[in-house]
Amino acid sequence: MRFQVLSIVGHAPHPLTGRLASAADRLQEVIETGVAAERLGFDAYAIGERHAGPFLSSSPTALLGALAARTRRIRLLTGVTVVAILDPVRVAEDYATLDQLSGGRIELVIGKGAEAGHFDLFGLDEARQWDLQKEKYELLRRLWREEGVDWEGEFRPALKGVTTVPRPFAGAPRVWHGSATSLNSPELAAQHGDPLFTANAVQPRAAYVRLIDHYRERFEAHGHDPARAYVGAGSGGLLIADTHEQAVARYKELYEARVRQSFKPHLVGRPGYNTPFTTIEDAIADGPQLIGSPQQIIDKILGYHAAYRHQLQSVTVDGFGLSAGEQVDTLQRFAEEVAPVVRRAAPSTLWS
């Protein structure tokens, strides 16, 4: 198993105290956590992209550029790049620049995004989101793999003889397809032989198994080697204590206050937005959250692995209001007490 730390750079008041860090302090915290993740031996660090809601991740390229300058080994991913609302020419240029700056450590996770407001913000029809994503991704693929590209499509002006610069560091960066609720992303990933990154963040496990099983079936049907059907999985947040009882006592009020704070009444009934695991006991027992003792977290990740056969596990430590020091301490405990056991039990060829 490989391990990634993800931040979507949330910027909401603390769910219990109401304190809100300045934007500058919050962004610096994200950078320092990425530096710590490299020091602690994590394989990747990912930055989300949000253009609506209480987030500061509207410019992941800027944050990844800062991380590229402060790190040397760790892979730098997005989570996700909302390619459906972006110009593929600009995406090709920006991320190839980051790929050069980082020495080839950039990988994208693309998706339609988890906020409902960004299509209106960019003057796009949300009903066409999958058409937008497919066309723009397929153009991005060509721009990174070809020079002198001639292209015509529906959603942007035609191109004639275009070569984007800079070129990627050492060939086109790997692109994962973020998948949360729809079969569209698994289908597009399978068609192109790309890896899949399942959200594994809000819904019950069976919902994600359905997406992954469809992906693997279609991956092979498209003629790709099944051994290359890599899958990553998110998680609904990481909170570690010495025992189950200590985890409940320490984090119950915090977890349940965050659930109430993040509830989106206008999105009730739409899968992937509001967690059904509203108590910490539900989250520990059946949710995607990694909460509990180190052994409980080991068992849950290996349970995911039995269902998903995934190679990359993502964890998030800045979603519940932990201080910067508590976030790094949590990552250190995970790196020392959880990761080695899971790596031995579930070896992976990803990034070998």
Q: CB under 8 Å to 288, separation ≥6 — which residues?
A: 200, 201, 202, 203, 205, 234, 235, 236, 277, 304
If one counts the domains in the chain, the total is 1
Residue 150: inside a domain: no
Residue 320: inside a domain: no
Residue 220: inside a domain: yes
Q: CB under 8 Å to 334, separation ≥6 — which residues?
A: 3, 238, 240, 294, 297, 315
pLDDT at residue 266 in the model: 79
pLDDT at residue 117 in the model: 79
Residue 282: inside a domain: no
Question: Which structural domain, as residue segments, surrounds residue 197?
Answer: 179-225
Residue 165: inside a domain: no
Express each pLDDT in 215-225 by its tens digit. 999 999 999 99
pLDDT at residue 269 in the model: 79
Percent of the chain clearing pLDDT 70 (strictly above): 100
Residue 83: inside a domain: no
The percent helix, strand, coil of the chain (3-state, each to 5) is 45, 15, 40
Alpha helix stretches (DSSP H) within the chain: 23-39, 60-70, 88-102, 118-121, 129-145, 184-192, 205-221, 244-262, 280-286, 294-308, 324-333, 339-345
Is 270 exposed, middle or buried (CB count within 10 Å of its CB: 0-12, 13-18, 19+)? exposed
Residue 252: inside a domain: no
Band of pLDDT at residue 52, cut at 50, 70 and 90: confident
Residue 209: inside a domain: yes
Is residue 161 classed as helix, strand or coil in its secondary structure?
strand
* End-to-end CA separation in angstroms for the chain: 11
Express each pLDDT in 105-153 by its tens digit. 999 999 988 776 789 999 999 999 999 999 999 999 999 999 999 999 9
